[in-house]
Amino acid sequence: MRDRNNKIKHIVISIGLLFCLAIGYLLYLILWGGNYLIFRVSPAINTVSKINSAEKTGGTVELSEADVNGIIETFMKNGISKSGFTVNKIYSKISEGKVYIYIPGRYGSLKVMLYCEGNLSYKNDKINFVPSIFKVGKLKLSKSFVMNRLKTFSDDGITVLENSIEIDKDVIPFGFSNLIVDNDKVIVSVEKVTKETDKSQAGVSTEEKSVSNEDLLKKASRQLNGAHSSVKSPKNKDIIRRIQSTINKMIQNPLYPYHKDAEEVKAMKNQLTQGEKDELQNAILDNMDTSTIKQIRSTFGI
């Protein structure tokens, strides 16, 4: 009888150990954080400079994964927090025509690494990402399960469908007509910007003024306070205050003739040294979000 009890005891202990090992391995798969991964990030101002140069004549711009990560970093400066899950960073890797996305995040007190890979394309004025694989840590997840959960993260300009994620062209703060992934680069066809283009883009924003657009202008004015505080150059402080003054006039009067102000702002910017221009661009990128950056670019061309 004693032998039988000992045998049962050993079996129970063995099952318990196997269960603990299984749980431990599962936690390892889930909580693996990709510690050995190195992500290349280029300052967003470098990418902005490339795009500004291309906008003068129109043409294509090659963006490396470091350039793409720099742009993402700018968009993610405020982070995302929904349903108990917090994301402060998103990184990409680009290889052999595919895009690999790494999302370090936190669910409660647990640190996790979300991963997906897929194809990026452009069609009907939308950037389309079709994921093929999802993982949390090293644990593979069902695509349908993840896509259903991601629908709660849909936002203005970003739509999660059954099999893909669509991003409206207007979310990106510069004009482009095409986007393709070629080996380890993203090639963007940038639209030429002329005075007429600037006026038509900004004109739509003011002439079709709505409550939401007024809120956008007010938000831009508030964010410019942060940009003003972050610059040291007196010339840049004058430019930001001039922009802010014009925006405030546009809030008060939807038909305010801002074009002369915009030309004067451009003339003031042309008098800056390259270091002062970089400081101004960094201040705008660091203190404003995508929607307000686009408003500033379309109205003032900076």
- Mind listing the pLDDT tens digit for each residue in 106-146? 877 778 788 899 999 998 888 999 999 998 877 888 888 88
Question: What are 51's two structure tokens?
Answer: 């795009």
**Among residues 76, 83, 140, 79, which one has the least CA distance to residue 108?**
83
pLDDT value of position 34 = 52
CA–CA separation, 81 and 105 (whole Å) = 10
171: pLDDT strictly greater than 80: no
CA distance 262 to 265: 5
pLDDT exceeds 70 at position 100: yes
Q: List all residues 6 or more positions away from 146 whose beta carbon is below 8 Å from its beta carbon.
A: 116, 131, 134
Task: Tell me if the pTM is above 0.75.
Answer: no
Q: Please, are residues 43 and 72 in contact by the beta-carbon 8 Å criterion?
A: no
**Any idea where the domains of the chain sit in the sequence?**
44-190, 195-300
Predicted local distance difference test score (pLDDT) of residue 184:
92
163 secondary structure, DSSP code: S
Average pLDDT, the chain: 78
For 252-297, write each residue's pLDDT tens digit.
Answer: 887 788 888 988 998 999 899 988 988 998 888 888 887 788 788 8
- Residue-wise pLDDT tens digits, 190-243: 877 665 555 444 444 444 444 467 888 888 999 999 999 999 999 999 999 999
pLDDT of residue 138: 76
pLDDT score of 168: 84
Q: Identify whether the C-beta of residue 176 lies closer than 8 Å to the C-beta of residue 136.
A: no
Residues 259/184, Cβ–Cβ less than 8 Å: no
- Could you tell me which residues come within 8 angstroms of residue 32 by beta carbon, excluding any fewer than 6 positions away? 113, 137, 138
List Cα–Cα distances, 80 to 85, 87, 133, 300, in angstroms. 8, 5, 22, 29
Judged by DSSP in three states, 100 sits in strand
State the Cα–Cα distance between residues 194 and 244, nearest whole angstrom: 23
Question: Using an 8 Å Cβ cutoff, are 140 and 149 in contact?
Answer: no
